[in-house]
Amino acid sequence: MKKIYLLLFVVALVAACKTDKKETLAVSMDDSYASFGEKIDAKDALSAKDMSQRFKNLASGDTLQTKVSAVINEVCSKKGCWMKLDLGNDEDVMVRFKDYGFFMPLDAEGDVIVRGKAYVTEVSVDDLRHYAEDAGKTKEEIDAIVAPELAYAFEADGVLLKE
């Protein structure tokens, strides 16, 4: 019986000491970026303008694995669970984070590089209203949302935030 307890204790100890290989906390990288999610590098990122052109060639349901450099327009004011990036020409892309595995700081602003899956999707009225509420919009602005929209979307597995 003592051997069983000893074995269970050793297994619990090993499990408690196990480290997760996925980087989910902000860490300084090259003294110029804070990293969130999986570790990525800044090389070979598309510009926002180039990504805008690629989105125009995607149909609803298509996906594109890519890395993009853009400027943050907006971050979820409640948890940092999404952000909108400026693509230029009054276009933006809604970025969510893979499996809600990480979040952005609520005061995040400036340049970012995101890596992951780009796609075009239809956003429901309920979701649009939810995002408007998260962004701190007024009740009148939220109630004015009455139709779904096609939107550029991005599921990021890693983000670099320029410090």
- DSSP, collapsed to helix, strand or coil, labels residue 150 as strand
* Within a domain: 145: yes
- Whether the pLDDT of residue 52 is over 70: the answer is yes
* Within a domain: 151: yes
What share of the chain in percent tops pLDDT 90?
67
Question: What is the C-alpha to C-alpha distance for residues 45 and 123, in angstroms, rounded to an integer?
Answer: 26
The predicted pLDDT at position 26 comes to 37
Q: What is the per-residue burial (b if ≥16 Cβ within 10 Å, else e) of 122-159?
A: ebeeebbbebbebbeeeeeeeeebeeeeebbbbbbbbb
106 band by pLDDT with thresholds 50, 70 and 90: very high
The predicted pLDDT at position 122 comes to 86
* Within a domain: 13: no
Instruction: Centre a 10 Å sphere on the Cβ of residue 27 and count the other Cβ atoms it contains.
Output: 11
What is the pLDDT averaged over residues 79-106?
95
By residue range, what is the domain housing residue 109? 23-162
* Within a domain: 7: no
- Average predicted confidence (pLDDT) for the chain: 84
Is the pTM of the predicted complex or chain greater than 0.85? Answer: no
The predicted pLDDT at position 17 comes to 44
* Within a domain: 2: no
* Within a domain: 107: yes
* Domain count within the chain: 1
* Within a domain: 66: yes
- Whether the pLDDT of residue 82 is over 90: the answer is yes
| Spatial CA neighbour of 112 closest among 34, 20, 3 | 34
Q: Is the CB of residue 35 less than 8 Å from the CB of residue 160?
A: yes
CATH number where 28 lies: 2.40.50
The predicted pLDDT at position 98 comes to 96
pLDDT digits (tens, 9 = 90+) for 13-23: 444 444 333 33
Question: What is the C-alpha to C-alpha distance for residues 95 and 48, in angstroms, rounded to an integer?
Answer: 13
The predicted pLDDT at position 59 comes to 86
* Within a domain: 17: no
